[in-house]
Structure 1
Amino acid sequence: MTAAITFYTHPMSRGRIIRWMLEEVGQPYDTEILGYGNSMKDDSYLAVNPMGKVPAIVHDGKVVTECAAICAYLADAFPDTKLAPAPSDRADYYRWIFFAAGPLEAAITNCSLGVQVPEDKRGMVGYGSFEDAVNTLETAVSGKQYIAGNSFTAADLYVGSHIAFGLMFGSLEKRPAFLSYINSLQERPAYKRAAEIDDALIKAAQETA
């Protein structure tokens, strides 16, 4: 039987964030693995995401792209998971999801590409400076187990994924606050299941290459 959710991804992509989210949600889903430069650019997939990028999901005929949007959508679509706070308690939840999706990702990407914003032009970019964005992230997670309340939410999953990727690829310093924050997140059973699935896909692809 076809699941209500179809997940389009590549195991070496931001799709790993959504794999984790889907494992937290716990609903059955079908996975479509797409290749860079070929099946991601096929007309059949461009009809799903004209950007030709992964991840994307289709849930009951509705298309959702962009990792932050997918995480927020799934948390709302399956409220019994409690992956989103009550609507009246979502200030920090929305704040940090969209901080990570906007200023933080832009700052890290530009820094990784060697783009330096002149000091007199910082008012033109949403993140101001790389240092401002990273220091703000550090403040957000310092001394906290969870970033938006007293329990794990999609905001932790999304922000934590950004931190984990940054530490892995060296685009973020290994500050104690970052390490402490992600250590408990990566002990979650859903995180481990998701990582095992994608790591196995990578290994299988390497063995058949």
Structure 2
Amino acid sequence: MADRPVLYTCARSRGLRATWAAEEAGVDVDLKVLPFPPRYLAPEYMEINPLGTVPLLIDGESRLTESCAIAHYLATRGEFTDLAIAPGERDYAEYCDFTYHADATITFPQTVYMRFAIFEKEKGWAEAGEAYAKWFEKRLVKIEQRLETREYLCADRFTVADICIAYALILAQNVGLDDRVPHSLKVYRERMTAREGYQRAFAREEEGRKALEAD
């Protein structure tokens, strides 16, 4: 693992989970910020990732395209760090569950909402968008209940599960769904994004985005 992993992403996309995890884990990644959507604005990227999606992490012969998987990989690359929970450790099952829950149950309905209510709203799919907004809101109850007596989701420390869930709450803020996020989760999000690791990750992505705009 002599060469730096290369991380392709778009600023403020799900790739922020990977950039954030890299900063928290101390993994030096070569960050490549692309214009959004890359499949149209950076067509050469399709030769690297035929899916045209971000993020993409290339680490030697390994290629990963799922943001939560990349975050976990970076937290365990070489060895387990405190960002991850190992088998046999307390809350290992919960760590796995909340890390997957972040994208499959919390981020997914938001992405469909974005399509119906933002990107293709002229097609008259507002009702479908509202249905997915409600789906997102109802699925937050699991996170809300989990954090009633905890500062972090698992093992009384900050982990990849927090990165993955916190990003879903950040996305809600960015796409107009923040009124559906309960106050307690907004407070949790504020604590997570106050971390130096998040601030560094966000700044790196913004620097890349501004460089694109300047070209």
Normalised by the length of structure 1, the TM-score is 0.81
Instruction: Compare 149-158 and 88-97 and name the one that shifted more.
Output: 88-97
In the TM superposition, residue 187 of structure 1 has moved relative to its aligned partner by 1.8
8 Å Cα contact 1:14-1:55 kept in structure 2 = yes
* Structure 1: runs of 5+ lacking an equivalent: 119-124
**How far, CA to CA, are the matches of 1:134 and 1:143 in structure 2?**
16
Match of 2:5, as an amino acid? I
Q: Which residue matches 2:196?
A: 189
In the TM superposition, residue 200 of structure 1 has moved relative to its aligned partner by 2.3
Q: Which residue matches 2:95?
A: 93
**How far, CA to CA, are the matches of 1:22 and 1:100 in structure 2?**
18
Q: Secondary structure at the match of 2:140?
A: helix
Q: Which residue matches 2:209?
A: 202
In the TM superposition, residue 140 of structure 1 has moved relative to its aligned partner by 3.0
8 Å Cα contact 1:12-1:202 kept in structure 2 = no
Q: Secondary structure at the match of 2:98?
A: helix
When residues 109 and 10 of structure 1 are mapped into structure 2, their CA distance, relative to the original with a 3 A threshold, is closer
**How far, CA to CA, are the matches of 2:211 and 2:135 in structure 1?**
40
8 Å Cα contact 1:3-1:30 kept in structure 2 = no
* Structure 2: runs of 5+ lacking an equivalent: 117-125
Q: 1:107 aligns with which of 106, 109, 133?
A: 109
Match of 2:79, as an amino acid? P
User: Over aligned residues, Cα RMSD in angstroms?
Assistant: 2.6
When residues 185 and 196 of structure 1 are mapped into structure 2, their CA distance, relative to the original with a 3 A threshold, is same
Normalised by the length of structure 2, the TM-score is 0.79
When residues 205 and 38 of structure 1 are mapped into structure 2, their CA distance, relative to the original with a 3 A threshold, is closer
**How far, CA to CA, are the matches of 1:166 and 1:117 in structure 2?**
14
When residues 203 and 116 of structure 1 are mapped into structure 2, their CA distance, relative to the original with a 3 A threshold, is closer
Percent of residue pairs bearing the same amino acid type: 25
After the TM superposition, which residues 26-37 of structure 1 pair with which residues of structure 2 at under 5 Å, given as runs?
Answer: 26-35=26-35, 36=38, 37=40
Match of 1:31, as an amino acid? L
When residues 135 and 57 of structure 1 are mapped into structure 2, their CA distance, relative to the original with a 3 A threshold, is same
Match of 2:139, as an amino acid? A
In the TM superposition, residue 129 of structure 1 has moved relative to its aligned partner by 3.8
When residues 80 and 130 of structure 1 are mapped into structure 2, their CA distance, relative to the original with a 3 A threshold, is closer
After the TM superposition, which residues 70-89 of structure 1 pair with which residues of structure 2 at under 5 Å, given as runs?
Answer: 70-88=70-88, 89=90
CA displacement, residues 4-58 of structure 1 (integer Å, 9 cap, x when unaligned): 311112224222221111111212221223332143x32xx43542211111111
When residues 145 and 116 of structure 1 are mapped into structure 2, their CA distance, relative to the original with a 3 A threshold, is same
After the TM superposition, which residues 108-147 of structure 1 pair with which residues of structure 2 at under 5 Å, given as runs?
Answer: 108-112=110-114, 113=116, 114=126, 115=128, 129-147=135-153
Find runs of 4+ consecutive structure 1 residues off by over 4 angstroms.
none
Q: Which residue matches 1:24?
A: 24
In the TM superposition, residue 80 of structure 1 has moved relative to its aligned partner by 5.0
**How far, CA to CA, are the matches of 1:193 and 1:72 in structure 2?**
19
Q: Which residue matches 2:120?
A: none
8 Å Cα contact 1:163-1:182 kept in structure 2 = yes
8 Å Cα contact 1:5-1:59 kept in structure 2 = yes
Match of 1:201, as an amino acid? G
Match of 1:13, as an amino acid? S
Match of 1:158, as an amino acid? C
